[in-house]
Structure 1
Amino acid sequence: MHRTSTRVLLSCAAIGVGGGLVAGASGYLAAAFAAFGPLLYGITAGTHFLPSVVALALLKRPGTAVLAGVIAGLVGAAFAPWWIGRFVGTGLLVGALIELPFLITRYTRWDAWIFYASAAFAGLVLAIAVFIGLGAEHYAWWAWAIALPLWVASPVLFTWVGRVIATRLAKAGVAQSA
């Protein structure tokens, strides 16, 4: 049985809390977009990727993306308890989708393109779910032609931001022997 160190758990908690603060704020922005500019709603989806990407890129350990994502969801829900299911569910789903290609490679490859392909795939999964959830028939084709690419681009952009943060944290010596 593989044991997870306290350093890894505390690092995931710290990353999750930081990501949860961002998620809490973006939740209100997402609600505003959903009400007043639903085409732009997908822009906020990428913020849910930050804690999972930072944790996985920094710690390079199985399960860290899922753990950081769930913690971020719990922290984000503190700002809007009525959205607890959305925050925790999104953190869990995003963490699992981000980790999937690394699981397939048995966590032996950490190439940047894997992070970006994973984020694009996860964004597409979320886009399709929202597409079905909002009712595609209520919007013109051109509205979806604008909205769906945002759902894919936002996670890729925030994955880049998360990898930059992880690189800077690693250079600063954070989680050195985690």
Structure 2
Amino acid sequence: MAPRISTRVLLSSAAIGVGGGLIAGASGYLAAAFAVFGPLFYGLTVGSHFLPSVVSLALLKRPGTGILAGVIAGLVGAAFGPQWFWRYVGTGLLVGVLLEIPFLITRYKRWDAWLWYASGAFAGAILGIGVFFALGAEHYAWWAWVVALACWVASPVFFIWIGRLIARALERSGVARQSARENAG
């Protein structure tokens, strides 16, 4: 039988997702500008989609909270750019899944920093390669590949660092105190 998830954990994850969705909504327009004026740097904006999943998963340390926060962030972000509905929701879902994979493998018992950063770098590389091919990779020089891929990998890693800082600050303020007790029991 699957463990029960409290309403407090669900609502906390949803609230984090809403906050992340506001950032994702703004980031979508910045990404559109990069796509037009500097497509090699488009990947710099992808990390903002990692933020809600990282904060939720790092703060609550419960299976599925990263996915839930990512999808809710995608839904909220789509309210600001309905023309990109599936891009927002799909990215939120994909990022949540990719971030949770290493923790799923460890059965949510290990929360080492390297797992976060390896997951982010891997997810950024997967997303970057996919988008670069969609943009027509054959039209770019080798050095453009290097610059673009570096942006796609560095951005998630940076936002994971920021998200973990936010989660620690929230934890110190006592926001997740009750959730931590629920995890222990």
- Normalising by the residue count of structure 2, what TM-score does the alignment of the two structures yield? 0.95
Q: What is the CA distance between 1:52 and its match in structure 2?
A: 0.4
Is the deviation greater in 128-137 or in 101-110? 128-137
For residues 120 and 93 of structure 2, the distance between their equivalents in structure 1, rounded to whole angstroms, comes to: 14
For residue 17 of structure 1, what is the amino acid of its counterpart?
A: V
Matches within 5 A, 1:1-178: 1-178=2-179
Match of 2:177, SS state, is coil
Q: State the secondary structure of the residue aligned to 2:111.
A: coil
Task: Please give the alpha-carbon distance, in whole angstroms, between the structure 1 residues aligned to 2:133 and 2:94.
Answer: 17
* Deviation string, structure 1 residues 45-88 (Cα, Å, up to 9, x no partner): 10000000000000000000000000000000000011010000
Q: Percent identity?
A: 74
Residue ranges of structure 1 left out of the alignment (5+ in a row): none
Moved over 2 A (4+): none
CA distance in structure 1 between the partners assigned to 2:172 and 2:110 by the alignment: 20
Aligned residues: 178
The aligned amino acid for 1:33 is: F
Structure 2: where are the runs of 5+ without partners?
180-185
Deviation for aligned residue 1:175: 1.9
Partner Cα separation in structure 1 for residue 104 and residue 60 of structure 2: 15
Q: Deviations over 1:101-128 (max 9, x none)?
A: 0000000101111111110111011011
- How far the C-alpha of 1:153 sits from its partner, in A, is 0.3
Aligned equivalents of 1:141 and 1:72: distance in 2?
Answer: 34
Report the 3-state secondary structure (helix = DSSP H, G, I; strand = E; otherwise coil) of the residue aligned with 1:106. coil
Asked if the contact 1:7–1:175 (Cα under 8 Å) also holds between the matched residues in 2, the reply is no
What's the CA shift for 1:131? 1.7
Distance in 2 separating the partners of 1:135 and 1:176:
48
SS at match of 1:177: helix
| Separation in 2, partners of 1:115, 1:177 | 24
Partner Cα distance (1:104, 1:120) in 2: 17
1:176 and 1:136 mapped to 2: Cα distance?
48
Cα distance in 2, alignment partners of residues 146 and 121 from structure 1: 16
Does the CA-based 8 Å contact 1:15-1:54 persist in structure 2? yes
How many Å separate the matches in 1 of 2:66 and 2:35?
A: 27
RMSD of Structure 2 on Structure 1 (CA): 0.7
Q: Hey, what's the Cα distance between the residues in 1 that align with 2:146 and 2:125?
A: 13
